[in-house]
Amino acid sequence: MSKTLRVLIVEDSEDDALLLLRELRRGGYEPVHVRVEDAVAMQAALEEREWDVVLSDYSMPRFSAPAALALLQQSGIDLPFIIVSGTIGETVAVAAMKSGAHDFLVKGQMARLIPAVEREMREARVRSERAQAADALRQRENYFGALIENVSDIITTIDAFGQITYVSPAIHRILGYSVDEYEGSSAFDLVHSDDRSAVDAMMAHLLWQPDATSTTQFRVRHRDGSWRWLEAISRRLLAADSDAQEFVIVLRDISTRKQAETEREQLLARIIEQAREVQFIVNTVPEGIFMLNEDGDIRLTNPLAKEYLTLLAPEWANGRLTHLGNRPLTELLTSPPKGLWHELESHGRFFELIARPIEDGPGQRGWVFVLHDATRERQVQQQVQSQERLAAVGQLAAGIAHDFNNSLAVIKLYSDLLLRSAELTGQNQDRLHTISRQTQRAADLIQQILDFSRQSLMERQALDLLPYLKELTRLLKRTLPEDIQVSLEPAADIDFTIFGDPSRIQQVILNLAFNARDAMPQGGRLTVGLEKLTVSTETAVPVSGMVPGEWVQLSIRDSGVGISAKDLDHIFEPFFTTKEHGKGTGLGLAQVYGIVQQHNAFIDVETAVSQGTTFYLYFPAFHEQPQARRVLDESVPLGSAELVLVVEDEETIRQALSESLAMLNYQVLEAENGREAFTLIEQHREEIAVVLSDIIMPEMGGVALFHTLREQEFHIPFIMITGYVVEKDMENLRALGLQGWLTKPLDLDKLAHLLQQALS
């Protein structure tokens, strides 16, 4: 089957044209042709249709091959142009080829026509395809060029040394630079110094992994000097016709996003810090705090709430809360019947609770509970009430002690005088002994009342409890029944010095020891303990009211029957006793309480029925050298006829004192009050050796007399006697020169010793 070939023949000879057509048909083509002889006809043919090849004679009367070639070129049509001539020479042919002809043939050699036509048509097709590809490429380049010119991100290329080889116009909008300013500069010069390591890492990644895409963020300096955050997406640019390494980078301005991220991070940091502060407050607040959702499920607890809920609702860890203590939760969500708080009790501890709804929207979202452990406050409140009650009783007891002691003083002194008389029969001496013992017993009871009411006189000094208790426990071992084991257990062999009255401390320990004996009828163990404590502001004090500092803890522990809960609140009240009638006065622990209070000390007790009892005494530590002190007194010393001025408004007491002093080998001068005594002192100032004066008297009392003598520079030893007096007052007088004091009823032995001490 013949192939159609569109041939434009430029030939003035029809025969030669037919020769060409015949040769083409022999080559398998069916020519569609037009023969032209001049430029006008050729131009018309070119415009009329498309042609596959042009076959042109070189020389014609009105036209020529060079002219036809020029016309074809001017038309902008790329067609194979083959010259066919019988007279063309080599020089002419070469010139024609240089002008753009594709081949030339000699008319006598038509065998070359078909190969020449086919070759040139192939090359024409190649040229056409290349032209189409070039045109398509130009169109694509124009498209992508327009796209790059208008894209909002910066598109730039850099070489392996960081030199900018191309940048899109977006550089001006984003960074303020013109294209000319940016191209040719170093990409690294504009990067923030803190971010250059990130850019170096990006370049290294691209160099070592050619097919990889790298994304990083860094700051670049704007033309106005500010810094903009850019996000770079980079890839190596591989060119087929070049070995040079080049990279294309798309830069997006993320400054606004970065600022938003920074603000979000700052806000998140503030929220986290505020949450941490709130959590710290919730965890450290000295109350139990927990939260329930609207279904009653526990959402939040602080450490104290966990501890309290374990007591009030052991099942709370399972999630939902229905009860607290023995009260349903719904009852606790309402207002309390009285006061601001609901009251709960569990395992001997008292709690106060308040609930508040969480209302952060149209509906209720849950509840916040605050739990307060009021156990210690209740105890302190009870202690205060007990102390107030005991103080009131003490004031009443102290008010009548003076009159009792005046009467007992007379009875005691006269009975002691009569016992020293040789004229009495044996029966009368026994009776007087009984009177003296009962008088002393009554005096001891009055002293217990005064001790309880903190009205007794103290002779305090630096006292190391360790050697003192060693001697006292030896006494207890001889005194208590053999089936009671007595032991002293100090924490360490260190300084346990306090500022105390040895005789009153002895009274405290004996009272507690005898109570322990009564609590162990079948025998048991009595342990005396000593320990040094340091109380600070950060630690919980053992007893309310104790101040920070060093304390000496003295404990008396027994293995007896213990004290019941109903009796525990009353044990320090005077005349309260659990013993059978006639076996206890109820003043022992009251006396202990008062003596401890007078030492600025504290007392506490731990007990359980059938588990024994421990009394804890807390004395302020004292840092002075203790004085040697014997527990027992020596024999009664006598005077050497020194003159003693007795000042007492009660005649019976004054007379009894005078007779007692005479028996102790003293001379006596009497006065009814301080004014009369001062007159006698002025008259006998060189003779009077000691003044023995009552405190409360009409006209002038003993204290006023003492101050008057000091003002008048009478330095006579002065001893006070009284029914009761505040220890602080006596200490102040001692600082001014008072030799000592005695309490009524007077003990003859003590009077003798104090007189000897004053005279020495």
pLDDT of 226 > 70? The answer is yes
Domain boundary among 323, 358, 373: 373
Q: What's the pLDDT at 240?
A: 45
Does residue 123 fall inside a structural domain? yes
Question: Amino acid identity of 154?
Answer: I
d(CA 714, CA 711): 8
Same domain, 127 and 161: no
pLDDT of 428 > 80? The answer is no
Same domain, 169 and 107: no
- Residue 472's CB is within 10 A of a number of other CB atoms, namely 21
Task: Enter the tokens of residue 372.
Answer: 């307060």
Same domain, 244 and 330: no
Using one digit for the tens of pLDDT, what is the confidence trace for 678-699? 999 999 888 999 999 998 888 8
Segment 9-16 mean pLDDT: 87
SS3 63: coil
Using one digit for the tens of pLDDT, what is the confidence trace for 596-647? 888 888 989 998 888 899 999 999 998 876 554 444 344 678 888 899 999 9
Segment 217-230 mean pLDDT: 90
Q: Quick one: pLDDT band at residue 457, thresholds 50, 70, 90?
A: low
Contact (Cβ atoms closer than 8 angstroms) between residue 648 and residue 672: yes
* Pairing of β 298-301 and β 323-324: unpaired
pLDDT of 149 > 80? The answer is no
Using one digit for the tens of pLDDT, what is the confidence trace for 233-283? 888 876 544 556 788 888 888 888 888 888 888 888 888 888 788 777 777
Does residue 689 fall inside a structural domain? yes
Same domain, 466 and 598: yes
Contact (Cβ atoms closer than 8 angstroms) between residue 191 and residue 218: yes
- Residue 408's CB is within 10 A of a number of other CB atoms, namely 23
Q: Quick one: pLDDT band at residue 514, thresholds 50, 70, 90?
A: confident
Segment 438-443 mean pLDDT: 72
Q: What's the pLDDT at 689?
A: 92
Closest CA to 380 of 353, 350, 354: 350
User: At which residue do the structure tokens 């142009």 appear?
Assistant: 81
User: At which residue do the structure tokens 């202690």 appear?
Assistant: 383
Burial class (CB in 10 A: 0-12, 13-18, 19+), 107: middle
Task: Please state which of the ranges 275-289, 382-396, 501-515 shows the lowest mean pLDDT.
Answer: 382-396
Domain count, the chain: 5
Same domain, 647 and 560: no
Instruction: Enumerate the H helices of 420-495 as residue ranges.
Output: 426-452, 465-479
Does residue 472 fall inside a structural domain? yes
Domain harbouring 307, CATH code: 3.30.450.20
Q: How far is CA 236 from CA 149, 159, 202, 498, in A?
A: 21, 10, 11, 90
Same domain, 461 and 588: yes
Segment 132-144 mean pLDDT: 62
Task: Please state which of the ranges 41-45, 155-159, 635-639 shows the lowest mean pLDDT.
Answer: 635-639
Domain boundary among 315, 344, 373: 373
Q: How many helices (H) and strands (E) does the chain have?
A: 22, 29
Using one digit for the tens of pLDDT, what is the confidence trace for 271-288? 888 878 877 777 777 788
Domain harbouring 600, CATH code: 3.30.565.10
Instruction: Enumerate the H helices of 341-424 as residue ranges.
Output: 375-419
For 11, the enclosing helix (H) or strand (E) is none
d(CA 500, CA 511): 17
pLDDT of 92 > 90? The answer is no
Segment 179-202 mean pLDDT: 83
Task: Enter the tokens of residue 504.
Answer: 């009153």
Number of residues written out for the chain: 760
Same domain, 555 and 616: yes
- Residue 420's CB is within 10 A of a number of other CB atoms, namely 12
Using one digit for the tens of pLDDT, what is the confidence trace for 709-744? 988 888 899 998 876 655 667 778 888 888 888 877
Task: Please state which of the ranges 85-89, 320-324, 394-398, 414-418 shows the lowest mean pLDDT.
Answer: 394-398
Using one digit for the tens of pLDDT, what is the confidence trace for 301-357? 888 888 888 888 877 666 677 788 788 877 887 777 666 788 888 777 888 888 888
φ/ψ of 108, rounded to 5, equals -80, -5
Q: What's the pLDDT at 396?
A: 60
Task: Enter the tokens of residue 406.
Answer: 């005046």
Same domain, 176 and 235: yes
Using one digit for the tens of pLDDT, what is the confidence trace for 297-317? 887 888 888 888 888 887 766
Does residue 75 fall inside a structural domain? yes
Report for 17-21, 390-394, 588-592, 700-704: range of highest mean pLDDT: 700-704
Does residue 736 fall inside a structural domain? yes
pLDDT of 390 > 70? The answer is no
Segment 642-670 mean pLDDT: 88
Q: What's the pLDDT at 448?
A: 63
Name every residue whose Cβ is closer than 8 Å to that of residue 347 and which is 6 or more positions away in sequence. 311
Q: What's the pLDDT at 629?
A: 45
Does residue 718 fall inside a structural domain? yes
Same domain, 476 and 609: yes
Does residue 408 fall inside a structural domain? no
Same domain, 168 and 39: no
Same domain, 102 and 175: no
Domain harbouring 13, CATH code: 3.40.50.2300
Q: What's the pLDDT at 631?
A: 40
pLDDT of 586 > 70? The answer is no
Domain boundary among 253, 274, 309: 253
**Alpha-carbon dihedral of residues 164, 165, 170, 175, nearest 10 degrees?**
20
Segment 42-66 mean pLDDT: 87
Does residue 260 fall inside a structural domain? no
Q: 758 — alpha (psi -120 to 50), left (phi > 0) or beta?
A: alpha
- Residue 356's CB is within 10 A of a number of other CB atoms, namely 10
Q: What's the pLDDT at 412?
A: 75
- Containing structural domain, residue 49: 3-131
d(CA 431, CA 418): 11
Of residues 545 and 680, more confidence is placed in: 680
Same domain, 191 and 241: yes
Burial class (CB in 10 A: 0-12, 13-18, 19+), 606: middle
Mean pLDDT, the chain, whole residue set: 81
